[in-house]
Structure 1
Amino acid sequence: MDTNATSATSDKPEKTIAIIGAGIIGASIAYNLSLHDRRTTIFEQCAPACAASGKSGGFLAKDWCDSSEQKHLARPSFDIHRNYAKELNCDIGYRPIESYSVSLTSCPSRIVRGARRPAPLAWLDGTATVLNGAHRIGTQTTNAQVLPKRLTEALLQRAEERVGSSVVVARVTDVQRTPERDGWQVHSTNKNGTDQIDTFDIVVLAMGPWTIKAKQWFPNLPAIMAHKAASVVIKAKVPPSVLFTEYVNIRGEARSPEAYPRVDEVYLCQSAIAEDLADDPDHIHPSPQDVRDLIAFGEGLSSDIGSAAKKARNVKTQACNLPISPDGLPVIGAVSGTDKSVFVATGHSCWGILNSAATGKAVAELIVRGRSTVNVRAFDPARFGE
């Protein structure tokens, strides 16, 4: 046995790792790296889960991506989320849940006589009329939900407890090769305006839609777009059935809003639309019309939601930007031209909370082992050929 070789290997310093972005993707990567005894420094310009990860519905579906390459993320992610509920040993709002497809209208000209409210959804006693009943599209075996902000914070906390990973609240302004070209200098500015330069062996870009800003550092990155999603959270208790709806509002406009009942509140959202990226997550707000429409939708669903929404203290309004890649699939892997020392994980669109779990596992394995047990070939950044 060559004891000198063994000693040399054991004395080799551990590689330093920076993660830019403390949303659910960055938190999942940090947590999974902690399972490999790797400590990370996570940079975040505002606070953990301050963007989409703190303002998403948290819906989890095991098999809804089966017709897409995202099935390679969704199926393992669903199982990982179920394990998180026990593994993290804290309340992350996880629970199995059923989901339904429902058609409703608040437009008088669209009301159909004799429309019935299906028994499982008897709580739908709001001002809207249910059309053509409802269809169950997900069971407690294939659907679940989680509170994304709590999960993000729990993952970061466990990474800190396990290996001493830390979150630095500062805006990353530049990433450059070290003069020796053996690492990366991360330039950042905190909220007090103090500039700092830290050097790392490996950099992970988990910046959501703000990955577009990293193209100035790494031109080979694809152009990630931003889609704005508005939502309201209303303090009301209704039975645990997620609703995906086709809804005609009082103006006769067809929409597809969604409702996610939680333990003591209901999360209502509508389809995301393309919009210019805000510089700061704190500057993203829903339009007054979006808020009015979502509250009206809630009133249409349930008298309990409608009553609660009449009190301003029961209503929280918010919006966020979702990251969308040029082909609609996530972007996961090493960035071209960086000798596998820079990795990116973004472009998860509305499935970011679900698919964060397998993404975190995959990126951690790519960093530590150079290969992943999660099939992420379809998400390689090199597919864009930029």
Structure 2
Amino acid sequence: MTDPLTQPRHVVICGGGIVGVCIAYFLAEKDPSIRITVIERTAVACAASGVAGGFLACNWCDGTPTEEISRKSFQLHADLARELNGPTSYDYRCLDTLAVTASTRPSSSPANVGPKLDWLDPEIILQTSVSGDKTTTAQLHPLKFTNTLMQLAIARGAELMITTVDGFEFHDNDDRRQVRGVRVTGQTCNTEFIPCDDVIIAMGPWSGLTSSWLPHRVAVSGSRVHSVILKPTAPVSVHALFVLFDDGKKESEPEVYPRPDGTVFVCGGLETHSLPADPRHIKPVKDSILHLRDIAGILSPKHLRDATVVREQCGFVPVSYDSIPLIGKYPGIDRLYMATGHSVWGILQAPATGLAMAELLLEGNSTSLDLKQFEPSRLLM
């Protein structure tokens, strides 16, 4: 713990993904006097935050515990895009979104086609419907967005440290345990112990690794998602597609997002797979990538069947046991916090999470977001 009479308050954020970086950004914006250190094992947005699709939806979580955080964060994304020149800085734009049903099986039923897209094969499209418009859905490039906010936080005094967090250290005071720092190891950092006043666990799917350092098990795991980025043979319209696809053998639910740079992002659903200890060891599975490429080619034979493959990738999203994020104070240990478990909505919900966490640390409670339903205590075992 730092001396408040001689040194500024020091906050350590464990994790350089989009959630950890948003916390750093809003902390630095609200109080430039605070010392902020973001510790990341590999690189900023090196895992899911760097390979996600970047789709944003205002009202798709309505009726769930994440309705408020999603709506607030969608608005924050719009505000940040205006302030930071999002369309240029990180490819932010609003767009229309369609739900598409497609099948290669012969069908005697007439297609119930709504909006028609000339780049989709009309022979297999059974139905299209509007599920979002430019007022309710948007997109951005998550890697560019995360790095933009990290650089702005650094410009305000935050520090990025590339090393590995190996544990926390505590001290007891009047029957209360309190964080006093983090232990780290790594080739680029010779420091073994970093003293600080506050620690935030924002390690995405790796947040569960902290269970061995803490009194309670952290109920967060990782689910794998494959994706491929294609360069179409001809331009496609600006529509995000959420597809129910039947290839004659099984159904799948690919998502297709054209991007402002002319590429098309295609991803599959969540897969159960063990989480590598190091993000650098995450490698896409060839069969999963080929399946996505095949689907893209069937949906759009004229534009995507012979498309150039720009990148094949996969990442792990953090999933809590009840599918609700953990945001707030860790119970029983003063000045230890958590912000993780956002599942597939991490890109969307990160700004509201970052702002709420900054308020919690600086003011003692969040005024922008009710964090009660996200309290980590509900899932610590």
TM-score by length of 2: 0.91
SS at match of 1:292: helix
CA distance in 1, matches of 2:282, 2:250: 25
The residue number in structure 2 matching 1:177 is 170
SS at match of 2:79: helix
Alignment of 1:125-140 (within 5 A): 125=121, 129-131=124-126, 133-140=127-134
- How far apart are residue 178 of structure 1 and its match? 5.1
Q: 1:33 aligns with which of 27, 45, 66?
A: 27
What is the total number of aligned residue pairs between the two structures?
366
Q: Per-residue CA shift, 1:227-255, capped at 9, x if unaligned?
A: 11011011233211011111012x52111
Structure-2 change in CA distance of 1:221 and 1:165 (3 Å)? farther
One-letter identity of the residue aligned with 1:110? P
Structure-2 change in CA distance of 1:305 and 1:19 (3 Å)? same
After TM superposition, what 4+ stretches of structure 1 lie above 3 angstroms from structure 2? 10-13, 109-120, 178-183, 191-195
One-letter identity of the residue aligned with 1:124? L
Q: 2:373 aligns with which of 371, 374, 378?
A: 378
Alignment of 1:1-386 (within 5 A): 13-37=7-31, 38-89=34-85, 91-106=89-104, 109-112=105-108, 115=111, 118-125=114-121, 129-131=124-126, 133-162=127-156, 164-177=157-170, 183-191=179-187, 194=190, 196-236=192-232, 237-249=235-247, 252-263=249-260, 264-302=262-300, 303-309=302-308, 314-339=309-334, 341-373=335-367, 374-384=369-379, 386=381
The answer to whether the 8 A contact 2:40-2:161 is kept is yes
CA distance in 1, matches of 2:258, 2:266: 9
CA distance in 2, matches of 1:317, 1:191: 29
One-letter identity of the residue aligned with 1:323? P
The answer to whether the 8 A contact 1:22-1:49 is kept is yes
Q: Which moved more, 1:175-184 or 1:69-78?
A: 175-184
- How far apart are residue 195 of structure 1 and its match? 5.3
SS at match of 2:306: helix
Structure-2 change in CA distance of 1:97 and 1:192 (3 Å)? same
One-letter identity of the residue aligned with 1:98? D
CA distance in 1, matches of 2:343, 2:108: 36
CA distance in 1, matches of 2:283, 2:94: 30
- How far apart are residue 268 of structure 1 and its match? 0.4
The answer to whether the 8 A contact 1:25-1:359 is kept is yes
Q: Which moved more, 1:350-359 or 1:88-97?
A: 88-97
Larger helix fraction of residues: 1
One-letter identity of the residue aligned with 1:23? G
CA distance in 2, matches of 1:182, 1:383: 20
Q: Per-residue CA shift, 1:67-98, capped at 9, x if unaligned?
A: 11101210100000001112224511110111
One-letter identity of the residue aligned with 1:169? I
Q: Per-residue CA shift, 1:21-71, capped at 9, x if unaligned?
A: 000000000001011223310000000000000011111111111111101
SS at match of 2:358: helix
The answer to whether the 8 A contact 2:162-2:189 is kept is no
Could you tell me which runs of 5 or more consecutive residues in structure 1 were left unpaired when the two chains were aligned: 1-9
SS at match of 1:344: strand
Q: Per-residue CA shift, 1:80-122, capped at 9, x if unaligned?
A: 000111222451111011111111123xx43557647654422
Q: CA RMSD in A?
A: 2.1
CA distance in 2, matches of 1:267, 1:121: 17
The answer to whether the 8 A contact 1:17-1:40 is kept is yes
- How far apart are residue 193 of structure 1 and its match? 8.0
Q: Which moved more, 1:19-28 or 1:251-260?
A: 251-260
One-letter identity of the residue aligned with 1:307? D
